[in-house]
Chains A and B, each alone.
Chain A
Amino acid sequence: MNRCLGGTAVVMAAGLALAGCGGSAGSSSAGSSSAKPALRITSAYMPAPVTSDMAAGFFTVTNSGGADTLTSVTSALAGDVTLHSTKGGAMEEEKSFAVPADGTLDFASGGNHLMFEKLTHKPKQGEKVAVQLHFAKSGTVTVEIPVKSATYNPTTGH
């Protein structure tokens, strides 16, 4: 199952890169839903987890094209990756997240996060975790998420 997705990921990621380049040049003025999304993933990190039971992941999707939707996430590191929002101190599992046209989708500590469960091992600081983000229109994007310290703060950078 994971292997299948992995294969698709490589192909689709290549496709996205192309669409991304063409899209941003052609559709800068539009914000319409018909425009192709042009996604960029930045600021990705995983805080070194406490145990191999569970880890979190954060990143920002910047879209300079039409709207898209993040529908699921997979990784060889984890048996299960789910999308969560945090509301009033409670996590809530979400089926998908909207990536607005010419906007951003933020996964940040205390808010939206990826939850990795059933890890194959406990990732250590300095490691990189390959994660596939599956989008409704843009297909699959593979991101190498660096594992940072357990107390990493993206604002201070350490």
Chain B
Amino acid sequence: MHKKKTLAAAALLAAAAFTLSACGSGNSGDKPVAEVSAESGSGKAATVLDQPFEKPDLVLTDTHGKKYDLRAETKGKPTLIYFGYTHCPDVCPLTMNNLAVAKKELQKNKQLTQAQKDSLRIVFVTTDPERDNPSALGTWLKGIDPDVVGLTGDFSTIQAGARTLGISIEAPQKQKDGKVVSTHGTQVIAFSPKTDGGYLVYGQNATVDDYTKDLPKIIKGENP
């Protein structure tokens, strides 16, 4: 019994420590990273963060093989970021297709100007950069939406960037049979065009309808 308690306490401490390192802000421990992936019971897909994530300082390579500075390129633009990989049959293509279809639906919106609609950036960062080189990423994203920004680069850089958003990914591992096991994030983070802060988190159960409903708000930096 005693041992168990110690372990639980240690786990809590570890979780608290992780929260601090993940958010990069020392003054508030009341937004644990774990809560981010929790399903909201309110019927809303998005979790609104009291304390938004800072946009990760990622400088990577895009699908054209060119340098892409995330902060510079998406400054002042509504931006959705997802971490996944192309050799992923289930969640990664579903998540990206949900975003792409919602973006297409956005064109029907009459309240937004074309400039507002065009300002949306959807960014896919690979968690499997060895296999997902710029051309592999480009081919895959062409099947989803060619306007999506696909980024690849050094895994440790990508992992560190993901960690600042509370997204934990592991390096791809080669198994005995030669197959590679990669991990993907389970969240999509939406960044406000007003503050450039990552203020909304979507879990992997968010549907195309959820994104379709929320995108007009995200484009204006409002809460859905």
The digit string for A33-59, where 1 denotes a CB below 8 A from any CB of B, is: 000000000000001011101111000
Minimum C-beta distance from B41 to chain A (A): 16
B8 at the interface (CB under 8 A from A): no
Residues on A with C-beta less than 8 A from B182 are 90-91
Taking the complex as formed, is B166 at the interface, i.e. its CB lies under 8 A from any CB of chain A? no
Cβ-defined contact, B183 with A90, below 8 A: yes
When A55-B89, A150-B94 are in contact, do A110 and B204 touch as well, CB less than 8 Å? yes
The one of A89, A110, A151 that contacts B101, using a Cβ cutoff of 8 Å:
A151
Q: Do residues B94 and A109 form an inter-chain contact, with CB atoms below 8 A?
A: yes
- B169–chain A nearest beta-carbon distance, Å: 7
Beyond A151-B97, A151-B101, whether A110 also contacts B89 by CB under 8 A is no
A86 to B205, CA, bound (A): 14
Task: List, in ascending order, chain B residues with CB within 8 A of A50's CB.
Answer: 86, 93, 97, 140, 143-144
Interface residues on A, range: 20 to 34
Total interface residues on B, using CB and 8 Å? 31
- Let me know if A89 and B186 touch, CB within 8 A: yes
* CB within 8 Å of A: which B180-224 residues: 181-186, 204-205, 207-209
Identify which of residues 85-125 in chain A touch chain B, using a CB-to-CB cut-off of 8 Å. Answer: 86, 88-93, 109-110, 113, 115-116
* Secondary structure dominating the interface of B: loop
Q: How far is the CA of A153 from the CA of B210 in the complex (A)?
A: 12
Cβ of A2 < 8 Å from any Cβ of B?
A: no
| Sampled A-B contacts (28; CB under 8 Å) | A47-B97, A50-B97, A50-B143, A51-B139, A53-B87, A54-B88, A55-B89, A89-B169, A89-B184, A89-B186, A90-B170, A90-B182, A91-B90, A91-B181, A91-B182, A93-B179, A109-B91, A110-B205, A113-B89, A113-B90, A115-B90, A150-B93, A150-B97, A150-B101, A150-B144, A151-B97, A153-B207, A156-B209
